[in-house]
Structure 1
Amino acid sequence: MLGGDPQVSGFEDPGAFGFETRAIRAGQPHDPYTGAVVTPISLATTFAQDAVGRPRHGYEYGRTGNPTRHAYQVCVASLEGARHGFAFASGLAACDALLRVLRPGDCLLLGDDAYGGTFRLIDSVFGNAGVEHAAVDLTAPDKLRDAWTPSTRMVWLESPTNPLLTVVDIEAVCAVTHELGGIVVVDNTFATPYLQQPLALGADAVVHSATKYLGGHSDVVGGFVATDDDRLADHLVFTQNAVGAVPSPFDCYLTLRGVKTLGVRMDRHEASAQALVEVLDAHRAVRSVLYPGRPDHPGHDIARRQMSGFGGMVSFRLYGGRAAAECVASSTRVFTLAESLGAVESLIEHPGAMTHASAAGSALEVPDDLVRLSVGLETASDLADDLGTALDAALECAPASPSELNPVS
């Protein structure tokens, strides 16, 4: 079952093939009428039926199912190692669909370092509907036992987290949660299925902002849920159709096109990210660097065990506080000051004032000296020079005392 759409033949047993092969072929047979190698964009909103209640090819209405959307769902589900996949109009629409399994009086536990938009949805939307929540340090899975109540139903985690790049032991969290009778949802946006597959580690569902690395080109907004749980799949089939927060066929086409190059893009994102970590390590203005690929990162060993790479996101903290962070974020030429992440262009932002402003005053508030980088595909030396110049500017516009500065350099 993949969003209620009929199966697409032509590429049997996709699990027998490698990741990059499935990204290009799973769910995407050559067009039977023309031989086209690219999945067509099916714009139809309704489909002919041979008799009452007997759709000719399994499709009835565009909100319920669409051939282009089905191809996209089959492909990404395959990449996550899932039997069920569902596309939504945004990452938050995908989160919303999963959260609708909760009822008033139920409680959700989430990590104390999470995307501000997810927190806003849980706190202000589902909180107002009677769903309770609490923030937990998920780097210590046994803390779930202390936070657990008879009404707890779900644990929501990110790994690596947004924006502090904290790594959570997914397998350990799943073990504790399942022992206590709950389900685990993993936001896999930062890692992508190329670097990490949470279902294989015990997660019940995986959610993505497809706007980010899956699409990869800053030109489409979308979300995705993958699961092997049949009951969750039934819930998602119903919710996807009943609520109707589905992507357009063109959005599905764009995301599917982006997915084809996910593997090679992630390799380049990571290589450049590691080069920039060296720049940050060597600069006097930098207080600390947050990147799972660093051997001194608290979650480095876990990341090595559950991921095949460390990704293209880097965060760092600065001497000089918020003024220094805002100065760096405003002083780049190659990096673009903008929200979002995971695309071909490099982005820089101040999370406290931008993507995570909604978490201010909560347990999920982020440090005001934090800067987040989404490392793109530009020439690595250009990115390094640009970042170094911006860091130099921070020393001028937000000077710190000599005793505070990084002693290197």
Structure 2
Amino acid sequence: MSLTREIIRIKRDGGELDETSLAAFIKGITDETVSESQIAAMAMAIYLNGMSDTETMLLTRYMRDSGDVLDWQSLQLDGPVLDKHSTGGVGDNVSLMLGPIIAACGGYVPMISGRGLGHTGGTLDKFDSIPGYQTHPSNDVFRNTVRDVGVAIIGQTGSLAPADKRFYATRDVTSTVESLPLITASILSKKLAEGLDGLVLDVKAGNGAFMDNEQKARAMADTLVRVGSQLGVPTRAIITDMNQPLAPCAGNAIEVRSAINYLSGAYQPNRLHQVTVALAVEALLAGGLAPDEYTARAKIDEALDSGAALELFQRMVYALGGPQDLAEKMDNYLPRAEVIKPVLAKKQGYISQIHARELGNIVVSLGGGRLTSSDTLNYSVGISDILELGMSVDSGQPMAVIHAASESDWQHAAMQLHEAIHIDTQKPQVNEVIYASQRG
């Protein structure tokens, strides 16, 4: 019997895999001596039987080490290397603001992000709406931007955690994505390959998140924090509400506009601001850039109020090929949809329920998101000015503004939006945007 078959059998029967077995299996995924059917069998065995903490940690380590692990020592950086990961939601453009804020506070942020798939938006897709921006620059441009600007937000290269790419592709087609050990290894293997000194995580719970309730989100946050810390990277997490969009908008160019307005101080929506600042605080604490929360918040306020964070955002965009004056002249560069019109409430009352996942799906149906990885995006479309849960609304008042490529697209999206946003006579109880925090 081959070693691979024996490893699968052990996990199929509920056994615990040792270090040698996990190392061999991940090596086989990387060098392609393990077949797709064997990856599928292992994924299902892990999905059904779970993994111990030690197994999860080892799986993450070997997936991280399946490719390059970035080393920043040669650049002689004078601050910690930090990053953030979100488990995905709707209207979540925090990365666009958080990277420059951390950099303005003395950190270095080599943020390697992904594209959207399904109802969640992707950070790279937002940057692709900026003319000229290189989401896959050369390694020298990437490293020089991190050194000189303090932040570079780019896409994953094939040399970082290559085992994860192959493992995930198989999980995606075998209904084994929703496995906590596999999710943990997938997220952390890529992030820890960045050579970090600290990592912060935004784990979302609600109808627009992959974890639909707080209990599941807490379990995920706990595992991520524990495994990251075991592998030598101070890791912290906050658990946040995704029962409505985080920002009052969704769509690629629309969310870039929102980020620039946030960094300039023109408009900082409360829920978005709370989460952005909370993650920034955790990053500064994890990286030793502040001794306590009070000091961290003061540094963050200064980075925003002084314009330093906005300046670094602009410098990053320019260093990676975008326009030098995007922040000042964003309407000259960011695409705008052909049809931009509000959707009006049909009755008076309170916004009682928002199906955030459905709002994300509306953006997809407008052409702003993907159903398959090869789909081409329309970066101009989306939704803006979305009312929040608990807000009062009169009949005929705008609930949101739809940005569409055509009148027929707008009409279809408006019908979907009426289904996604509910109005009732009773004012609902609204969750706090931050449920809890966990620190390693």
Is TM more than 0.5 here?
Answer: no
Normalised by the length of structure 1, the TM-score is 0.30
